[in-house]
Structure formats: C-alpha cells, structure tokens
Amino acid sequence: MAINYDHLMSLKSTGQEFSYGDRETMLYALGVGFGRDPMDEKELSFVYEKNLKTVPTMATVVAWGAGPIADSGINYMMVVHGEQKLTLHRPLPAAAQITADSRVVGAWDKGEGKGAIIVTETVISEKGKDKLCTLESTIFARGDGGFGGPREGAPQPHQIPDRAPDQTVEAETKPDQALLYRLSGDRNPLHSDPEFAKAVGFDKPILHGLCTYGTCCRAIISSVCDYDAAKITGFDVRFSAPVIPGDKIAVDLWKDGNTISFRARVPERDAVVINNGKCTLAG
C-alpha cells in the first residue's frame, strides 16, 4: 500500500486519553540517567516523590502511542525518527490525566528510492485544563519516496553556531539503560533483543533516540539550568546516529541569550549522535 498524499494529510485523532503518576515520572528520570548518585540532593529531586520535579522531555512519553498515522500506507519497517521538537506551555506536573490531539502537518516527497519526510503534531492538555505541551515529530520513511507529494518546503533544522562550543558536558549512559528506558513506553525489540538487532544490521541493541534526547536534556538541566528544569520551554533535535548503551556522550553547548544550541557526540567513535539541537529557556 503506497502513500496517498490527500489521505495522509487528512489523518488526525482527537481526545485520546492517558494518565501518568509519580511512578512514571520517577521511572522516566531514572531511564535518562538521573539519580546515579543517590546522595546528590539535586538529582534526587527528580527520582524521589518528596518535592518531585519533572524532566521536560518526559512530554515525549506521557501519551505514548498517540498519533493519527497508523492507516497511512507507510512502510514502517523502513522508518527512522528524524527530528523531535517540543514546546512546553507550562511545566509538566508530576502526575496528571491528559488528552492528546494529533494530526499530520506535512509530507514531502524526496523522490523514488529517496524516501519521504512526514511531520506530525500532538498537542497534550491536562484533562479539563489548558495545554501542557506541543510535540512535533518528523519521521524519514526511507521506503516511501515517489508518492507524488511536494518536493520543497520541508522544515529546516536549527543551525549550530560557527564557533567553538562555550561548554561541553559529559553525559554517560549505562549498559542496561535501554532496558530501563523502554519501560516508559517504547518496547521496540531493537533496543532489547540482541537477535533482532543483528537481523536489522546492528551488532547489539541500540539506545532509543528519545533516550539520547532525554540524556541531552539531563546534561543541560545539570549544567546551564543548575537543576531548575522549569526554565526549559523548548527542546528540539535532529537524530543523526545511534548510541550504544554504555557510550559516553559529550554534549557541546553554545549559549546565546535564552537559546542554548547543542549537539551530542560519542568521542570514542567520533560520531555525532544528535545535531542541530535547540533548547529554549524562559525569559
């Protein structure tokens, strides 16, 4: 089944209901690396219910499974997560009942054999209250080019400044991190099953891109924000290479007013794993 552009652009879902509690909030924080030192009180505030804080990037998992494109015609065996954007309208509560409204906002045809770019938007609101956040997710459908959609106009990524980083923060991962992170929603066997990982071309299971995304957020919270996560109002990235659980990540930061540009590298492999990062701070 090939992509039908008009059908794809008409896809939406409204009023999907989800809920999460302090257990999910703490589990997500552990999954992206908070609490490694249980005596660090600043880290403890993200993984202990006393005065519990939320990690902003948890917004990507609180409505896991929401979305309108199951009936899209996309070959999901050939899909990779290309970009993730997050706008926070207010800090996430530690527990909430929420609703999610999702729609396809764009699809671009790179040509036969070259894939397609598809962008979806999900607006998450606290049930009976106002909006919490807006997520914009871009997928690269490698097997779906040539469907006749527009060729021009796809969103352009944030540009990293052309100067040396102002700061580099180390944000290590652990060998078992994917097994912990997957409990927040994404149980794709690519991140847990060695045989499955080898069957699709990897030597071993890889870390979830959104776990690397959250790990970068942890690096910025612990450095630029001095653990005041409520300062973060936006968090956008482009995924560029996989992380292997246990990799040591170096997060390069550029500070320009309320905008923190960033990229993440695995120096041991000379690999940039997240690029074109943009963290927006409250004014």
Active site members: 186, 191
Helix axes 22-31, 209-222, angle to 10 degrees: 90
Whole-angstrom distance, CA of residue 235 vs CA of residue 134: 11
3-state SS of the chain: helix, strand, coil percent to 5? 25, 35, 45
- Give residues with Cβ within 8 angstroms of 116, minimum separation 6: 3, 74, 107, 108, 109, 110, 140, 141, 144, 145, 147, 149
Q: Where are the alpha helices (DSSP H) in 15-143?
A: 22-31, 41-44
188: which 2 tokens? Answer: 């794709």
234: which 2 tokens? Answer: 């936006």
Whole-angstrom distance, CA of residue 114 vs CA of residue 78: 12
Q: Quick check: 279 and 262 in contact, CB under 8 A? A: yes
**Of 82, 20, 30, 18, nearest in space to 55 by CA:** 30
**Of 181, 184, 185, nearest in space to 243 by CA:** 181
Q: Which DSSP category does 189 fall into?
A: G
